[in-house]
A and B are shown apart, each in its own frame.
Chain A
Amino acid sequence: MKVEAKKLEVQTSTEPKTGADLLIDLLKKEGVETLFGYPGGAVLPIYDAIYRAQGTIEHILFRHEQGMIHAAEGYARVTGKPGVVIATSGPGATNLVTGITDAMMDSLPLVIFTGQVARSVIGTDAFQEADVMAITTPITKHNYQVQSIEDLPRIVKEAFHIASTGRPGPVLVDVPKDISAGFLTAEPEEASIDLPGYQPTTKPNPLQIKKLADSISKAIKPVILSGAGVLHGKASAELTALAEKHQIPVVTTLLGLGTFPADHPLSLGMGGMHGTYAANMAIYECDLLINFGARFDDRLTGNLKHFAPFAKVAHIDIDPAEIGKNVPTSLPIVSDTKEALTELLGQDIESPNSAQWLEKLGQNKQEYPLWYKHDPNGMCPQWVIEAVHKVTNGDAIVATDVGQHQMWAAQYYTFKEPHRWITSGGLGTMGFGFPAAIGAQIAEPDSTVVAIVGDGGFQMTLQELSIVYERNLPVKIIIVNNGALGMVRQWQELLHGNRISESILHSQPNFVKLAESYSIRGYQVNNQEELITILPEVFAHNGPVLVDARVLQQEKVFPMIAPGKGIHEMIGVKP
């Protein structure tokens, strides 16, 4: 017995490195600390390498691939670093599709490794084979299928480079099993990036900056629109400095919340479908609209005919394809937002004469604030958000699903800082919020992280309750429970003749018992007093907590730009 054991030891130490060992080495070299993964047949060699790496790289085992990729998105949103995902071939890969598309739409850096069947059987409909390359080509910034072990170092390096530079996005690397299980013949050489077709422009054209400076000084009604590009450029401080220096009011997009302090006197709040009256009217009436890193999404613009009809539009974006895509732009500037803002701050610009404009916008803010009416019959969802804001002092990282609760969180959780707001903006993915909050908590173990979710969306990815228990991640889950798919219900009520079609969730699990079955503390609250009583202990508890907040089902998100309407045609601006 003893002899045999010794022999075995010798064998393992001389065993050559596999493609999978190399992959793990390369990930470490890229500075990857956490893997969001789920094993399976085609990635067994990779999991063997993770085992052999003996904890030098952390792997978090989620309960569903969709949960883990949303967690990786939350991680990427908070850190700005790529979230790294591993899934097996076939169903493992197809379960990632929603998250990959979500990351593509919201420009989140991800590097995704999918297993693939061995090269010898690709194309034969082998067990757990799916054409992941074809499936993910339109939803990734780029994708690769590894064809030889020697290519791995270059591909991994390029994947991280592409994901995290320029306009960030998801990059997928499909790894056939014979590559990950194959042996290296020699230690591979240091790879270099070979991407002649990918050279993002990050520095602005000085001439265009001069023109913009000139436009600013001539403007009478200037407005800044601040989007997610300001997050990616880490340019909030510069944006705030520019706004203050020249007294230009700021509208943020949904994803841009926090890029400019919402409680700043120059802040008009969020623009768009459920934005503030002051923000939308400022866009409608302005004579100069300076867009930093927003892509003029239709939920922001409303009917394009009425979007900033009197304005000269300047658009600063690192992605040239976004400029002029939806809104005609007279001042295009292809640049990183920070570079452009720094250049602008260095210009000698005469501040615009905007005193009257600011006064008018101030009046709009005063006269048309966000509103809701308390109801003796139950708890208002808006109030729940305000209560969470109060108890967290507005400093928490907030992740949401999609729908009414998302809009209320955007409206009533006043974000003062960037990278605190995690939401699915472009794709509008239900089930995003809770796992995204887990990813954020993994990235920042000491920060307060709140998942504000709907009862519908939460039921799409609640299986990840296992993770928060297992890792004791102190995520606070607030279910804004109206027993309905609230936004669908709202549209049916307002736009489809009150025909409430399949949008009421007639039966619900007992969320408290559900939490308890995962050994997580759960509370159900039905009114304001109960919520006020429990919230301090919820946030004082050093562990995950679920709060099932029963709110009024009829409550609607206002103000609202109905589909097809212009940005100046809002409904529900006043009680």
Chain B
Amino acid sequence: MKRIITATVQDRAGVLNRVTGLLQRRQFNIESISVGPTETEGVSRMTLVVEIEDEQRLEQVTKQLNKQIDVLKVSDITDKAVVVRELALIKVASSSQLRSEINGIIDPFRAIVIDVSKESLAIQITGKPEKIDALLELLRPFGIKEIARTGLTALLRGHQPQVNELTHHTLLK
């Protein structure tokens, strides 16, 4: 199962290496990882998407992460009400004749063209990973030259539903 795990960490040298090294050593597969500063100075936040076999392994991964001295807090937010976003930059092969057709495809996704050259277009899209996957599928026939994805980042929603409603809000499972 795919889980979204966030970790707030002290912004010290080697902390990213600690976290990824730990996951590698304990044989957890990281699908994506994004890191950046938070509202508190000196504290960074990592958002990890990890592929995990079962509950027992999930418990291990959070415990092992928590054990790191520089890790402040670890949360598995998969089953919480969250907003999830990822940004992707996609370079598509495109002659001038195809531009309007591509524009027609990306419009409903609220993606934008950020670079144009004779043979290609660069497109920027933000959204849930599934939305990005869907756009990529549609663009594939044109010939995708390059993709750069940031990996997912997430925030808890301001309002959390009651426990009995939680499963409805699961984003990844």
A-B contact pairs, 18 of them (CB 8 A): A133-B13, A133-B14, A134-B14, A134-B17, A137-B14, A138-B22, A141-B69, A142-B69, A162-B69, A195-B69, A197-B72, A319-B67, A321-B64, A321-B66, A321-B67, A324-B59, A324-B60, A328-B56
- A137, B67: Cα distance in complex, Å: 13
If the complex has contacts A320-B63, A321-B60, A324-B56, are A198 and B25 also in contact, measured as CB distance less than 8 A?
A: no
Contacts of A319 in B (CB 8 A): 67
CB distance from B79 to the nearest CB of A (A): 19
Interface centre among A138, A197, A198, A328 (most CB of B within 10 A): A197
The listed residue (A138, A145, A162, A196) touching B13 by CB distance below 8 A is A145
The listed residue (B21, B56, B69) touching A197 by CB distance below 8 A is B69
- A134, B15: Cα distance in complex, Å: 11
Cross-chain contact B66 with A320 (CB below 8 angstroms): yes
B1-59 contacts to A (CB < 8 Å): 9-10, 13-14, 17-18, 21-22, 25, 56, 59
Classify chain B's interface size: 20 to 34
The residue of chain A having its C-beta at the shortest distance from the C-beta of B55 within the complex is: A324
How many residues of A are in contact with the other chain, CB < 8 A? 20
The residue of chain A having its C-beta at the shortest distance from the C-beta of B73 within the complex is: A197
Contacts of A197 in B (CB 8 A): 9-10, 68-72
The residue of chain A having its C-beta at the shortest distance from the C-beta of B65 within the complex is: A321
Cross-chain contact A137 with B18 (CB below 8 angstroms): yes
Which residues on B are within 8 Å of A, measured CB to CB?
9-10, 13-14, 17-18, 21-22, 25, 56, 59-60, 63-64, 66-72
- A474, B87: Cα distance in complex, Å: 68
CB distance from B161 to the nearest CB of A (A): 28
- A574 CB within 8 Å of chain B: no
1/0 contact trace for A160-191 toward B, CB 8 Å?
00100000000000000000000000000000
Cross-chain contact B22 with A325 (CB below 8 angstroms): no
Contacts of B69 in A (CB 8 A): 141-142, 162, 195, 197-198
Interface centre among A134, A138, A196, A321 (most CB of B within 10 A): A321
1/0 contact trace for A189-233 toward B, CB 8 Å?
000000111100000000000000000000000000000000000
Known: A147-B13, A197-B72. 18 other contacts (CB 8 A): A133-B14, A134-B17, A137-B21, A138-B21, A143-B14, A196-B72, A197-B9, A197-B10, A197-B70, A198-B69, A319-B67, A320-B63, A320-B66, A320-B67, A321-B66, A321-B67, A324-B60, A325-B60
The residue of chain A having its C-beta at the shortest distance from the C-beta of B43 within the complex is: A196
- A321, B74: Cα distance in complex, Å: 13
CB distance from A202 to the nearest CB of B (A): 15
